[in-house]
Amino acid sequence: MAVEAMNAAHRHPYDASHAIGMTIGNATIMKELARGNMGIVFIAYQQRLKRRIAVKVLPKCLWTDDSIRLFEHEAEAVAGLSHPNIVPVYDIGENEFFRYFTMQLIDGTSLAAVLDQTAKNPLPSRRILPVKTALAITRQLLEALEYAHRRGVIHLDIKPENILICTPAPIPIITDFGISRMVGHPTGVSPVLRGSPLYMAPEQITLAETDARADVYAAGVLLFRLLVARLPLAACSSYEDLLRRKAGGHAIFSRTPSQVNPRLHPEIDDIVAVATSAALHERYATCSQFLDALHSYERKHIEYEK
């Protein structure tokens, strides 16, 4: 099984058709949009405001002490953020069937879908995102993460599936703060492994204390993914094998970005290596440091990559 395919979360079997037509808050549910371990996202319509919105719900059948705490924690974390690259939350509530919160409906496609579609281009030279595009997406994500970090919110699950891309710019929007951590505000949730193996920082795997550097790590893996058609992963036969390699501080990539994509200057290899270092003291301490490195790289090498 390919490791990237492993990232698809186990989907719960809740029959979402029961919710269609139901009123939540001041909106009527129209159709299912997406689902994950932590709930279902629907498209809903607010008649009074004449607009469509997104509603994330946690069905009663999935209520546990931990799931409720995480769900409410996500709403609280995002509600305190206001940034053009982070999905805004409108309201939170509960009825006899769901706990829910409402959000802006983003007119975009997941970055995962964008990458899949790009890989299918009939022209081999266009099966990778343009370098300028990859760097622009990463820079905007780092700016949004730096904003969140300064307000005490660490995402902890940055990956292509949790990023929506609005065209034509493209503009990335970070979604799904379901396992985020608010510094100084414990969730009270049992300490178990949560996240996506490929993008998860080693300290998350060992259940050690996490800080902003966990998001730096994920953003580094994401940058690598945006720059190549396929990540050159060391041989891993399972989730457990990948997690063991990371937890042990071993490299998970068999080649560097410039070795995979000849359009890249080798200096990008050092940037990705620092961002994805298993050793916390060797990793960029902040997203701002990561951003500075990318800005410097673009100033020196972007012409090289045209």
Q: Locate 53 and state its tokens.
A: 């919105």
Cβ(39)–Cβ(56) below 8 Å: yes
DSSP 190-219: -----S-TTT--HHHHTT----HHHHHHHH
Dist. CA 297–CA 290, nearest whole Å: 11
Residue 241 annotated to the active site? no
Q: Where are the alpha helices (DSSP H) in the chain?
A: 3-6, 65-79, 111-119, 131-150, 202-205, 212-227, 239-247, 257-260, 267-275, 287-301
Catalytic site residue from 157, 211, 241, 270: 157
Question: Rounded to whole angstroms, what are the CA distances from 196 to 100, 187, 298?
Answer: 24, 20, 29
Dist. CA 93–CA 265, nearest whole Å: 50
Dist. CA 76–CA 151, nearest whole Å: 12
Question: What 3-state class would DSSP assign to 236?
Answer: coil
Dist. CA 300–CA 110, nearest whole Å: 31
Dist. CA 1–CA 235, nearest whole Å: 11
Please state the length of the chain. Answer: 306
Count of Cβ atoms closer than 10 Å to residue 266 Cβ: 11
Dist. CA 173–CA 106, nearest whole Å: 8
CA atoms within 13 A on the CB side of 67: 16
Residues that are catalytic = 157
